[in-house]
């Protein structure tokens, strides 16, 4: 079975631009979460979506937004990019029966 997939793999943007990151969960998983991992640190929770509804939001500014589609895939949008938004963005889908989150390979965002 395919795991969590994310696109693109790498992305380079300049300050002030907008970016959209995409995630497809494992088949059958209805919950998707987004995390930001800054170099040398542990991942920080950004959003969780379940059945297309936002179920939780971390301590991130309103420049960050997300949505989930009927097929349970998800997009993370970041507006007005700052240098500090440079990070690895991880998507995770959750298997409800085992309460386990499975992570994708991530999208490496570099803001210049």
DSSP string, 27-38: TT--EEEEEEE-
Q: Which is nearer to another protein, 64 or 103 (CB)?
A: 103
Tokens standing for 23? 């995630």
Q: Which is nearer to another protein, 5 or 79 (CB)?
A: 5
Interacting positions 73-112 with another protein (CB under 8 A): 88, 90, 92, 94, 99-106
Nearest approach in angstroms of CB 94 to another protein is 6
Separation between Cα atoms, residue 54 and residue 28, nearest integer Å = 18
Helix, strand, coil percent content, the chain, rounded in steps of 5: 5, 55, 45
Nearest approach in angstroms of CB 83 to another protein is 21
Cβ 73 vs Cβ 104: under 8 Å: no
For position 45 contacting another protein by CB under 8 A, the verdict is yes
Q: Which is nearer to another protein, 100 or 110 (CB)?
A: 100
């Amino acid at each position: 079975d395919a795991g969590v997939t994310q696109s693109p793999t790498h992305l380079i943007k300049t300050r002030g631009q907008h970016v959209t990151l995409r995630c497809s969960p494992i088949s059958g998983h209805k919950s998707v979460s987004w995390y930001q991992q800054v170099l040398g640190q542990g991942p920080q929770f950004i959003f969780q979506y379940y059945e297309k509804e936002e179920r939780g939001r971390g301590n991130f500014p309103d420049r960050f937004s997300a949505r989930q589609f009927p097929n349970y895939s998800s997009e993370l949008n970041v507006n007005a990019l700052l240098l500090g938004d440079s990070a690895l963005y991880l998507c995770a889908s959750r298997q409800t029966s085992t309460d386990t989150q499975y992570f994708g390979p991530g999208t490496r965002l570099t803001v210049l």
